[in-house]
Amino acid sequence: SQKIEQNSEALNIQEGKTATLTCNYTNYSPAYLQWYRQDPGRGPVFLLLIRENEKEKRKERLKVTFDTTLKQSLFHITASQPADSATYLCALSLRNTGFQKLVFGTGTRLLVSP
């Protein structure tokens, strides 16, 4: 069966450390993989997109890797801040839908303590 798995347990880290979140998928062949941030009671906010032929993408303190062999993406936040506390969702853009449809993981909650 098709699955997108993110760690359901909250990740607690100290301010200044690097947070690493994992997204694993099975029985999908995504063209793109995207990461979103969602705050409680709010819609997701787009962070980064990485294509299947890209290994790594960076944006300011954020870094995403994409390993299509392992079927895994890692999302890193360096020099984390309490304001980074939120739920982070990975989403796959499906090839057979014109890349438009997104399938979301359940998200991982990140808590950054001062």
Residues contributing to the site for other proteins (CB under 8 A): 4, 32, 34, 36, 41-46, 49, 89, 93, 98-107
**Between 11 and 103, whose beta carbon lies closer to other proteins?**
103
- Provide the 3-class DSSP secondary structure of residue 84: helix
Residue 18 vs 29, nearer CB to other proteins: 29
Q: What is the rounded CA–CA span in Å between residue 25 and residue 99?
A: 17
Is the Cβ of residue 65 or residue 87 nearer to other proteins in the bound state?
87
Quote the least distance from Cβ 98 to other proteins, whole Å: 6
Comparing CB distances to other proteins, the nearer of 98 and 114 is: 98
Dihedral sign of CA atoms 39, 44, 45, 48 in order: positive
Q: How far apart are the first and last CA of the chain?
A: 41
- Shortest reach from residue 102's CB to other proteins, in Å: 6
Q: Which phi-psi region, left, alpha or beta, contains residue 96 (left: φ > 0; alpha: ψ -120 to 50)?
A: alpha
Q: How far is the CB of 114 from other proteins (least distance, A)?
A: 26
Q: Which tokens is 75 given?
A: 């999302």
